[in-house]
Amino acid sequence: MQITRRVPAEWEEQRAVLLSFPHKYSDWSDDLNSVLSVFVRMAQAIAYKDAVYIVCDNATEIKSLFCSTNNMSFIEIPTNDTWCRDYGVISIVEDGMTKLLDFTFDGWGGKFKADLDNSVNIALFKKGYFGGTSLETIDLVLEGGSIESDGAGTILTTSECLCNPNRNGGLSKDEVENKLKEHLGATRILWLDHGYLAGDDTDSHIDTLARFVNENTIAYVQCSDKNDEHYDELSKMEEQLKTFKTVSGESYTLAPLPMASAIFDSNGNRLGATYANFLITNHALLYPTYGIKEDSKAKECFEALFPNLEIIPINCQRLIEQGGSLHCSTMQIYK
């Protein structure tokens, strides 16, 4: 009998959402309290109706930040950083049963230390937080933020990331496709060859640029300002998205998200603010805000795209100072 597997879409039923809280030994040590408040807000928004697994260095201290810890589990595991989207387990469904995959995380091509982050999944498994769900460790660098699934066998990704020489020695598209078919059960790969964000360390993760909203709809960052440095690349990305077809052979419904106004750090470097870094949970849609004029337009977009979910803003201006945003800070675990 042939084994069939697939990656669930983010809107399918989840068991829990994983968060890794910042600590004094992470890159947030300069002003830890200000970033902890963002993570507390995220955890509270999810835990209102869904389970949250909080990886942290000191459970007692982190618990004290909450008025209520209902639906929250605090798990002491050492980490390098907070971006569990990229080192957390990737869930698949194999012959109707959920299975968890533990890919290699190397700090986005060796840019940052990642030895502790790369051990989180095995630690969670040994502590019993995955219940009876099996965990398979795979000797392949693959980050959760680099792939998008429609739940029906289609993987959306970028060639800049998955074919980058700093990942797996630089695989060709054909080699990457064979790996994604083998491990994720992908039946087809949609490659974006254009699009980037200034201030992004991930080599153009797909979750900063374009996301499946349902099997037939892709939300994406649209840049209409010809004076913006992203205009050419994001326009080319938009044109390529228009050529993509659904499984049934129809053009996707494309839902543009606003391009965030330029935000700079204290050294004048542009930060990677993006509204594509939203999170779908069982009962809510969490989206990043940055204290800029486009926040209200983004809210309108999400209200139209997710009419049956509660729409919850999370101010992520502090997160982009370290190169990530809301989706980068979370990983869903499926039932």
Where exactly are the structural domains of the chain? 5-334
Q: Which tokens sit at 92?
A: 């698949």
Encode the chain (335 residues) as per-residue pLDDT tens digits: 455 899 999 999 999 999 999 999 999 999 999 999 999 999 999 999 999 999 999 999 999 999 999 999 999 999 999 999 999 999 999 999 999 999 999 999 999 999 999 999 999 999 999 999 999 999 999 999 999 999 999 999 999 999 999 999 999 999 999 999 999 999 999 999 999 999 999 999 999 999 999 999 999 999 999 999 999 999 999 999 999 999 999 999 999 999 999 999 999 999 999 999 999 999 999 999 999 999 999 999 999 999 999 999 999 999 999 999 999 999 999 98
Q: Which of 227, 201, 185 is nearest to 324 (CA)?
A: 201
Please tell me the distance from the alpha carbon of residue 241 to that of residue 148, in angstroms, as a whole number. Answer: 14
Are 77 and 123 within 8 A, CB to CB? yes
Look at the block and give the residue holding tokens 């200000």.
Answer: 34
CA 255/CA 152 separation, integer angstroms:
20
CA distance 277 to 274: 6
Secondary element (H or E) of residue 35? helix 32-47
| Residues pairing with 76 in the sheet | 56
SS3 294: helix
In three-state secondary structure terms, 11 is: coil
Check residue 305 and give its pLDDT: 98
> What does the alpha-carbon distance between residue 67 and residue 143 come to, in Å, rounded to a whole number?
33
In this predicted structure, what is the pLDDT of residue 3? 56
Residue 146: closest CA among 166, 120, 132 = 166
- Going by DSSP bridges, is the β-strand pair 253-258/217-222 parallel, antiparallel, or unpaired? parallel
Strands in 148-149's sheet, in edge-to-edge order, are 148-149, 154-158, 188-192
Q: Say if CB 277 and CB 144 are below 8 A apart.
A: no
- For 158, left (φ over 0), alpha (ψ -120 to 50), or beta? beta
The CATH H-level (homologous superfamily) assignment of domain 5-334 is L-arginine/glycine Amidinotransferase; Chain A (3.75.10.10)
C-alpha to C-alpha distance for 6 and 16, rounded to whole angstroms: 19
Integer Cα distance of 89 and 261 in angstroms: 33
Half-sphere exposure of residue 115: CA atoms within 13 angstroms, side-chain side: 0
Count Cβ atoms below 10 Å from residue 73 Cβ, excluding itself: 16
247 phi/psi in degrees, rounded to 5: -60, -35
- Which pLDDT belongs to residue 335? 85
- Reported as half-sphere exposure (CB side, CA atoms, 13 A), residue 246 has a value of 16
Q: Give the three-class secondary structure for 93.
A: strand
3-class secondary structure, 326: coil
Phi, psi (5° rounding) for residue 258?
Answer: -65, 150
Supply the pLDDT for residue 292. Answer: 98
CA 208/CA 143 separation, integer angstroms = 13
CA atoms within 13 A on the CB side of 185: 21
Strand intervals (E) in 110-205: 135-141, 148-149, 154-158, 188-192
